[in-house]
Amino acid sequence: MSTQSVGNQRHRVVVIGSGFGGLFGTRHLRKADVDITLISKTSTHLFQPLLYQVATGILSTGEIAPATRLVLRKQKNAQVLLGDVHDIDLVNNTVTSRLLNRDTVTPFDSLIVATGAQQSYFGNDHFATFAPGMKTIDDALELRARILGSFEQAELATTQAERDRLMTFIVVGAGPTGVELAGQIAELADRTLDGTFRTIDPRDARVILLEGAGAVLGPMGPKLGAKAAKRLEKMGVEIQLNAMVTDVDAHGVVVKDADGSTRRIEATCKVWSAGVQASPLGKMIAERSDGTEVDRAGRVIVEPDLTVKGHPNVFVVGDLMSVPGVPGQAQGAIQGSTYAAKAIKAGLKGQTPEQRAPFKYFNKGSMATISRFDAVCQIGKIEFSGFLAWLAWLALHLYYLVGYRSRIVTVIGWFVSFLGRNRGQMAATEQWVFARLAIEEVQSDQADADELAAALGAPPGNNSKPARVREQQREVG
Ligand SMILES: Cc1cc2nc3c(=O)[nH]c(=O)nc-3n(C[C@H](O)[C@H](O)[C@H](O)COP(=O)(O)OP(=O)(O)OC[C@H]3O[C@@H](n4cnc5c(N)ncnc54)[C@H](O)[C@@H]3O)c2cc1C
């Protein structure tokens, strides 16, 4: 175990997470008289709203996920550490992160926790094996390989039933991510892949959007939801509402309809975008605070100044915080972390926690694309859709994309995809489909071995069955 030491007496801020909350909080402190350590288990700042475009071959990972280290190169008061935070000590004010076998302890005076949320399968985690979520770069690449791989297999299929199963794509959850994904899979099949196979016609692909509730884009209201549904249906997407997925396996899903009856849909490629669960660090912080609780999704019910009870120096922001009226969106994370950074700066000037004004969220609206040139947009009470909404979506996403180069390359990618039929990022490998499951297997072997070792009284960490993998980890580490 190593301890991060800071060689001077400046106020130490630790930021956990390099998403919207982590990065914007860190950048807001760039001129402050503090030393910042940003710790994240991913080495990039991921722009999640465009993940679906990586999954469907429009953008590359580099365009939506610049290396955090490069983004913060010029911010001399910030250091970036790669590591999975697994312990937060609110008594001694330290954070412990792990990279491979190495634990690093980083002390803090102020802490901003922005570790976001992950996919929720509502207690059915085994669904993930066959229906990956859409939260990480790995998810997007895996999905791209699954989508394109399904078409490749369909070209070789020997029976109609097999071909139909391979050319049916199921998206579970009709929120913005589900809507955007369904639209893009349909466009991929109809425009980009059209004419590229000889046995199958990609335009025959079925894209099915399953939603457990009664509407598409529920939180955006009935008018925009109906517009989005109409446009999707025009593109050939089959929308099935009040359809609860009760089981998922390699070859399909089981759906329970509103009348209680169940049916099965055969489909090889499934994607899950139906729910989120907060990062487990939320529960840990709440349990170690002086009475803070988490909500049903595991988000921390923070104080009005976004801190936890008894620890006015510990801020929880972004998708990990639970604040009434603040949605799990980029704006919530950016505004929350900016508020925390301002509170830290004010503290340096003598402001006490009691003097802090409560956090106020300013709702800048929400939007979702449906297809090229078509989106729905809600800003306050104003709702609009179509090309104008799509232009607004385009401008906003470009504005928030981090990095000058990312913006230019992204515009070129959009130009190629939206004006022409081609997509520039159609590479996919078998490894992308299987890597997640292989890693999970290795990790479960590790957990088994650690459990056995603990039962025998040995410390965990070096008892894994796949010794070859651990050997390699040691070499890399
Ligand atoms: C597919 C998709 C589409 C979306 N579309 C939109 C949209 O159109 N508009 C919109 O406003 N919002 C959208 N969102 C939501 C938006 O992306 C989130 O609200 C926002 O990213 C939350 O920011 P955050 O900083 O709280 O968390 P995140 O951005 O998720 O960042 C979490 C960070 O914490 C790190 N981390 C997690 N656990 C640990 C740990 N134990 N140790 C160290 N680091 C850790 C992660 O690596 C990551 O860097 C979308 C989300 C998804 C998934």
- Residue ranges of domains in the chain, CATH in brackets: 2-41+83-119+277-355 (3.50.50.60), 125-274 (3.50.50.100), 435-477 (no CATH)
Find the 48 Cα to ligand 1 centroid distance in Å: 6
Return the ligand 1 atom nearest residue 86 CA. Answer: 41
Q: Is the CB of 177 under 6 A from ligand 1?
A: yes
pLDDT along the chain (477 residues), means of 10: 56 98 98 98 96 96 95 97 98 96 96 96 94 96 97 98 98 96 97 97 98 93 94 97 97 97 98 95 97 97 98 98 95 98 98 98 92 91 93 90 82 86 93 89 75 65 46 41
Q: What is the pLDDT of residue 409?
A: 86
Q: Is the CB of 281 under 6 A from ligand 1?
A: yes
Q: What is the pLDDT of residue 234?
A: 96
Q: What is the pLDDT of residue 139?
A: 96
Just list the catalytic residues.
180
Q: What is the pLDDT of residue 442?
A: 82
Q: What is the pLDDT of residue 458?
A: 62
Site to probe by mutation for ligand 1, drawn from 115, 273, 283 as the one with most ligand atoms within 8 Å of Cβ, is 115
Nearest-angstrom CA–CA distance, 256 and 472: 46
Q: Is the CB of 363 under 6 A from ligand 1?
A: no
Return the ligand 1 atom nearest residue 134 CA. Answer: 1
Q: What is the pLDDT of residue 161?
A: 98
Q: Is the CB of 87 under 6 A from ligand 1?
A: no
Find the 401 Cα to ligand 1 centroid distance in Å: 14
Q: What is the pLDDT of residue 412?
A: 87
Q: What is the pLDDT of residue 444?
A: 78
Q: Is the CB of 48 under 6 A from ligand 1?
A: yes
Find the 333 Cα to ligand 1 centroid distance in Å: 8
Nearest-angstrom CA–CA distance, 245 and 170: 11
Q: Which residue's CA is minimally distant from atom 6 of ligand 1?
A: 49
Q: What is the pLDDT of residue 472?
A: 43
Specify the pairing of strand 168-172 against strand 269-272.
parallel
Q: Which residue's CA is minimally distant from atom 17 of ligand 1?
A: 48
Return the ligand 1 atom nearest residue 397 CA. Answer: 8
Q: Which residue's CA is minimally distant from atom 37 of ligand 1?
A: 115
Q: Please spell the DSSP secondary structure of 207-252, one letter per residue.
A: EEEE-SSSSTTGGG-HHHHHHHHHHHHHTTEEEE-S-EEEEEETTE
Q: Which residue's CA is minimally distant from atom 8 of ligand 1?
A: 49
Q: What is the pLDDT of residue 463?
A: 44
Nearest-angstrom CA–CA distance, 360 and 336: 9
pTM: 0.91
Contact, 312 vs 305, CB < 8 A? yes
Contact, 168 vs 267, CB < 8 A? yes
Would you state the structure tokens that stand for residue 154, as one six-digit string? 């369909």
Find the 39 Cα to ligand 1 centroid distance in Å: 15
Q: Is the CB of 115 under 6 A from ligand 1?
A: yes
Return the ligand 1 atom nearest residue 18 CA. Answer: 49
Return the ligand 1 atom nearest residue 337 CA. Answer: 25
